[in-house]
Amino acid sequence: MAKSTRITPILLCGGSGTRLWPLSRRSYPKQFSALIGDESLFQASVRRLTGKGFARPVVVTGADFRFIVTQQMAEIGADPAAVLLEPAPRNTAPAVLAAVLHIAATDPGATVLIAPSDHVVRDVPAFHAAIATAAAAAAEGRIVTFGIRPDRPETGYGYLELDADGDGAIPLRRFVEKPDRATAEAMLADGRYLWNAGLFLARADTLIAAFEAHAPGLVDPVRRSVAGARADLGFLRLDEGAWAEAEDISIDYAVMERAPSLSVVPFDGGWSDLGGWETVWREMPRDGAGVAASGPVQALECRDTLLRSEAEGQVLIGLGLENMIAVAMPDAVLVAPMDRAQDLRLAVSALKAEGAKQATEFPKDHRPWGWFESLALGSRFQVKRIHVNPGAALSLQSHHHRAEHWIVVQGTAKVTVDGEVRLVSENQSVYIPLGAVHRMENPGKVPMVLIEVQTGTYLGEDDIVRYEDGYGRG
């Protein structure tokens, strides 16, 4: 991308992703999963907004995802300029404004690109060319959004109506809410309507002026939250009190739909927001019968169907399915007609009403040191698999209600129990009595995996007393 002034990406990395349940949940939303290809959507987003023409990105995310963000960036050799932590989700307008104010503090004239972190772009060079076109318009003080040339009458997207046909940065006439089928077909035939990709490019000072003009009530609390931010292990925690005063509102409603003279750069290089399982099916490779398969699955006499299994040691069989979605996780299975893909919120709401943890909690519990998953759970016991990253360590801790037995099955663990330190290798074990102060570490260069057997009267994750922690947790 031939630009002399580098563009600073602002990557929005929050959300719950319920439209892709059960793979995407509140505790581990879709951007961190490898839905298309071998890398996560977040990693793919970072890659296409890194390199020549781009400054290091600013990421806005929640505290629960902070270590996932930095780990996934480190895996692809990327380094953020800053990671801003939202005290609570407040939608996209406060998140964008916080990042823009942070950038403008050192460079008010910086060109910034606001981008979700969970989209797919197949033609990256064409995307970079569209960004370069938008940057020229942004240099003149315009706010530029990107419109995707539609190839079908999609009812799951909002639309942009152009003032004229053509290329380059075209004046925007209006935003259009998600249409019904007949309206979408009419807009597709018209040719002047594009899908709203939710991407915006402008100078930082231009965006701040737009917020001051069209969402003045947001500016003071977000500005105070940024001013009161505190550094925490390389992250920047926005001030919680001021943040709570900010309105929960999207940037489209707060600013973009009110601001005059927006411009649109059309783009048709293969974009998708992966907003539902139907769009995932469209983006995946499909066989001659239209079957998209991922993981240990078998399709027998199926057509236009998505089969996906994320359950280790479990095979998903589709027999005689047509226009269906079947997604298997270790703790939940989804089976639905393709045309009901946008209604998954109903399933998630039903699970929440029953208090089912599958509604929001991912089977693997990701932590800054790695992850764990429960393999078996009874009234007084639990069996876990624990994966500890190379060089990582759990906190020095004790438990009031449970004892633990650790069996190392891969790598070597450095174990501390009541001040005594020992190395535990594969096929060796160690017992942690109730109340003992203990820690496990991975001193090696490869992941360490152990099986933990807990026994006791209470096995909840909140039965932890921390004495030392390298990740700043209480």
Q: 11-41, pLDDT tens digit by residue?
A: 999 877 788 999 998 888 999 999 998 899 9
Which residues have a Cβ under 8 Å from the Cβ of 267 and sit 6 or more positions away? 126, 127, 130, 146, 147, 148, 149, 197
User: pLDDT-derived band of residue 57, with 50, 70 and 90 as boundaries?
Assistant: very high
Question: Of 421, 368, 432, whose CA–CA distance to 398 is shortest?
Answer: 432
Helix (H, G, I), strand (E, B) or coil at 225: helix
> Taking the C-alpha atoms of 457, 462, 468 and 469 in order, what is their torsion angle to the nearest 10 degrees?
130
Same fold, 7-272 and 364-468: no
The reported pLDDT for the residue numbered 164 is 82
- pLDDT at position 2 over 50: no
Please give the backbone phi and psi of residue 111, each rounded to the nearest 5 degrees, phi first.
-90, 125
**CB 370, CB 386: distance < 8 Å:** yes
Cβ burial of 219 (10 Å; 0-12, 13-18, 19+) is middle
Residue range 172-180: average pLDDT? 91
Q: Tokens standing for 162?
A: 């152009």
User: pLDDT-derived band of residue 168, with 50, 70 and 90 as boundaries?
Assistant: confident
The predicted-structure confidence for 343-378, as pLDDT tens digits, reads as follows 888 999 999 999 999 999 988 888 889 999 999 999
Which residues have a Cβ under 8 Å from the Cβ of 406 and sit 6 or more positions away? 413, 415, 424, 429, 430, 431, 432, 440, 450, 451, 452
User: pLDDT-derived band of residue 230, with 50, 70 and 90 as boundaries?
Assistant: very high
Q: Tokens standing for 469?
A: 């922690």
- Least trusted range by pLDDT, from 90-94, 214-218, 231-235, 392-396: 231-235
Tell me how far apart the alpha carbons of residues 100 and 108 are, in angstroms, rounded to a whole number: 9
Pick the CATH number of 7-272 from 3.30.70.260, 3.40.228.10, 1.10.760.10, 3.90.550.10: 3.90.550.10
Tell me how far apart the alpha carbons of residues 148 and 151 are, in angstroms, rounded to a whole number: 9
The reported pLDDT for the residue numbered 4 is 40
Cβ burial of 361 (10 Å; 0-12, 13-18, 19+) is middle
Q: How far is CA 235 from CA 5, 58, 460, in A?
A: 26, 11, 28
User: pLDDT-derived band of residue 321, with 50, 70 and 90 as boundaries?
Assistant: very high
Tell me how far apart the alpha carbons of residues 278 and 264 are, in angstroms, rounded to a whole number: 27
Q: Tokens standing for 201?
A: 């490019």
Cα 114–Cα 118–Cα 124 angle in degrees, nearest 5? 75
Pairing relationship of beta strands 170-176 and 159-162 according to DSSP bridges: antiparallel
Residue recorded with tokens 């624990």? 386
CA 270 centroid distance within chain? 20
Q: Tokens standing for 383?
A: 């069996």
The predicted-structure confidence for 187-197, as pLDDT tens digits, reads as follows 999 989 999 99
- pLDDT at position 464 over 50: yes
Question: Of 424, 442, 430, 437, whose CA–CA distance to 386 is shortest?
Answer: 442
Q: Tokens standing for 167?
A: 């290329």
**CB 137, CB 32: distance < 8 Å:** no
Give the domain ranges of the chain: 7-272, 277-353, 364-468
- Angle of helix 41-48 versus helix 66-75 axis, rounded to 10: 60
Q: Which CATH superfamily is domain 364-468 in?
A: Jelly Rolls (2.60.120.10)
Tell me how far apart the alpha carbons of residues 456 and 378 are, in angstroms, rounded to a whole number: 10
Residue recorded with tokens 């998140």? 95
Element holding 116 (H helix, E strand)? strand 111-116
The predicted-structure confidence for 139-156, as pLDDT tens digits, reads as follows 999 999 999 999 899 888
- pLDDT at position 99 over 80: yes
- pLDDT at position 389 over 50: yes
Pairing relationship of beta strands 306-309 and 292-294 according to DSSP bridges: parallel
User: pLDDT-derived band of residue 472, with 50, 70 and 90 as boundaries?
Assistant: confident
**CB 98, CB 222: distance < 8 Å:** yes
- pLDDT at position 251 over 50: yes
- pLDDT at position 342 over 60: yes
Q: Above pLDDT 70, what percent of the chain?
A: 99
- pLDDT at position 138 over 90: yes
User: pLDDT-derived band of residue 166, with 50, 70 and 90 as boundaries?
Assistant: confident
The predicted-structure confidence for 395-444, as pLDDT tens digits, reads as follows 999 999 999 999 999 999 999 999 999 999 999 999 999 999 999 999 99
- pLDDT at position 305 over 50: yes
Average predicted confidence (pLDDT) for the chain: 93
Tell me how far apart the alpha carbons of residues 250 and 90 are, in angstroms, rounded to a whole number: 8
CA 300 centroid distance within chain? 33
CA 442 centroid distance within chain? 27
Tell me how far apart the alpha carbons of residues 95 and 470 are, in angstroms, rounded to a whole number: 27
Q: Tokens standing for 360?
A: 């929001």
Helix (H, G, I), strand (E, B) or coil at 340: helix
* Type of residue found at 96: V
Please give the backbone phi and psi of residue 414, each rounded to the nearest 5 degrees, phi first.
-100, 115
Q: Above pLDDT 90, what percent of the chain?
A: 82
Read off the DSSP letter of residue 178: P
- pLDDT at position 220 over 90: yes
User: pLDDT-derived band of residue 388, with 50, 70 and 90 as boundaries?
Assistant: very high
Q: Tokens standing for 250?
A: 């999207």
Cβ burial of 389 (10 Å; 0-12, 13-18, 19+) is middle
Residue range 299-316: average pLDDT? 94
What residue ranges in 225-304 does DSSP mark as E strands? Answer: 230-232, 235-237, 263-267, 271-272, 292-294, 297-300
User: pLDDT-derived band of residue 474, with 50, 70 and 90 as boundaries?
Assistant: low
